Structure 1
Amino acid sequence: SKIDKIAGADVSYYQNKMIAGVIIFEFPNLKIIERQSFISSINFPYIPRLLTFREGPSLLEAFKKIKITPDVILFDGQGIAHPRRMGIATHLGLFLDRPTIGCAKSRLSGKYTSVGEEKGDYALLKESEEVLGAVLRTRKKVKPIFISPGHKIDLLNSIAIILKCIVKYRLPVPVREAHIFVNQIRNNLALEMDKIES
């Protein structure tokens, strides 16, 4: 099915607060058409591999505010390349009932052989014979990223979409912009708190 709108989602932290952000882009031109955020208290400890329980509720609240429904959502995190095959992209894909892709800077599960040096080169990320995702070179001679399908999408389509979202940087635009967005909100929160305290 045709993709016209794509989303990026990420979370940032400030003291005991969590900032979840979602940005909707036109696709493939990657023009921003909507942004929403949700600030909450942190209610779940940091436990590796259980990120969804910490970040998921706030991200879902941010998605509830979105007026434009995305065709695909990119998350800074894992899809099925997770010890329980249930990274944040898979988990939230089930809740949101949308196709989702996990896009991470580091590996959580699976093994891979070397990746070619050119943009678009990839190696399969596997556990025994099970394919969990791909280690994808998004820029020539720059460290690869770890892509895994989340929900309602296969690996080859995930890779193709990610590559269309690479402009200048190693990370796809929706994930990178969502990261910048939540960090801007965090910095504004920090400034407000400083004003109150001083």
Structure 2
Amino acid sequence: MQDVPARSHDWNVSTDEAKRIQRRLASEVAETALPNDVETVAGVDVSVRDDRAQAAVSVLRMPEMSVTDEAVHRCEVPFPYVPGLLSFREMPAVLPALQQLDTAPDVFVTDSHGVAHPRRFGLACHLGVLCDVPAIGVAKSILVGAPQGELGAQKGHRVPLVDDGETVGTVLRTRTDVNPVYVSVGHQCTLDAAADLMLDCSPRYKIPEPTRQAHKLSRTEE
């Protein structure tokens, strides 16, 4: 993927400026249909140790969930930990990793939120908008909002995640009797399609296989 990112901005900014960038770019998030035939899904994850970030991308082929491509990039952590500003800490490591991929995946999935975010612009949105690609956020905990309704115990059950009267995500049970994940739109997808695809990407584990593989890769030693 030599053409990413399609656009960019300065990453060496104050927290106030980072929030302004999020608010400005949030208006560009598009909720549109995913490609009809999704063949490859790329999981994206970043591990941080001390002052070093290690970004990993694992590309898996549907439906067998076999790894077809992967990339790792290591760099200094460029931004402090600030709740709600994860993308400014991790995207400078993710973008060079994406450039190492041999092919362009159909969809990207991040171990983070999309629009289920205080400014409706989590890391999945940041990746999707800057790179002009379909992106989905899948997080293990809630950042904003609350589930609406009672979630069934069976795999596949889902309820809306609602914040201030707005549906910002889906609470999705990817394994029976196991805690759910929280799916939200990143860019160029609908919420229903994002949840359906993540269920397809979770044949055995709670965490969708693309981000599960990316997480393992992000923790490998140099």
TM-score between the two structures when normalised by the length of structure 1: 0.91
Contact 2:128 2:134 in 1 (8 A): yes
Verify: 1:165 aligned to 2:185, yes or no. Answer: no
Structure 2 residue 57 is the aligned partner of structure 1 residue 16 = no
What value does the CA root-mean-square deviation take over the aligned residues?
0.9
Distance 1:43 1:175 in 2: 23
State the Cα distance separating 1:85 from its structure 2 match: 0.2
1:73-152 aligned at under 5 Å gives the runs 73-112=108-147, 113-152=149-188
1:120-168 per-position Cα deviation (integer Å, ceiling 9, x unaligned): 0011001233110111111111001100011000011001100011122
Q: Give the Å deviation of 1:110.
A: 1.2
Which residue pairs with 1:64 in the alignment? 99
Residues 110, 127 of structure 1: 8 Å contact kept: yes
Secondary structure in 1 matching 2:146: coil
Deviation of the 1:15 alpha carbon = 2.3
Q: Is the 8 A contact 2:78 2:92 kept in 1?
A: no
Structure 1: distance between partners of 2:191 and 2:50: 37
- What TM-score results when the alignment is normalised by the length of structure 2? 0.82
SS at match of 2:90: helix
| CA–CA separation in structure 2 for the residues paired with 1:127 and 1:46 | 24
Amino acid at match of 1:181: L
Give ranges in structure 1 of 5+ residues lacking alignment: 190-198
How many matched pairs?
186
Identity rate, percent: 37
Give the SS at the match of 2:92: helix
What secondary structure sits across from 1:13 in the alignment?
strand
One-letter amino acid matched to 2:51: N
Contact 1:136 1:146 in 2 (8 A): yes
**1:4 is the counterpart of 2:39:** yes
User: Which segments of structure 1 move beyond 4 Å, counting only runs of 4 or more?
Assistant: none
* Aligned mates of 2:184, 2:71 — CA distance in 1: 25
Question: In structure 2, what is the Cα distance between the partners aligned to 1:85 and 1:78?
Answer: 9
Contact 1:125 1:134 in 2 (8 A): yes
Offset of residue 8 of structure 1: 0.2
Task: Determine if contact 1:24/1:68 at 8 Å carries over to the other structure.
Answer: no
* Higher RCO structure (Cα 8 Å, ≥6 apart): 2
CA distance in 1, matches of 2:70, 2:87: 21
The SS at the match of 1:12 is strand
Supply the distance in 2 between the matched residues of 1:5 and 1:170 (Cα, whole angstroms).
20
Distance 2:194 2:131 in 1: 18
In the TM superposition, what whole-angstrom CA distance separates every residue of 1:63-112 from its partner, at most 9, and x where no partner exists?
A: 01111101100100000000000000001100111110100000011121
Structure 1 partner of 2:21 = none
SS at match of 2:108: strand
1:169 to partner: Cα distance: 1.1
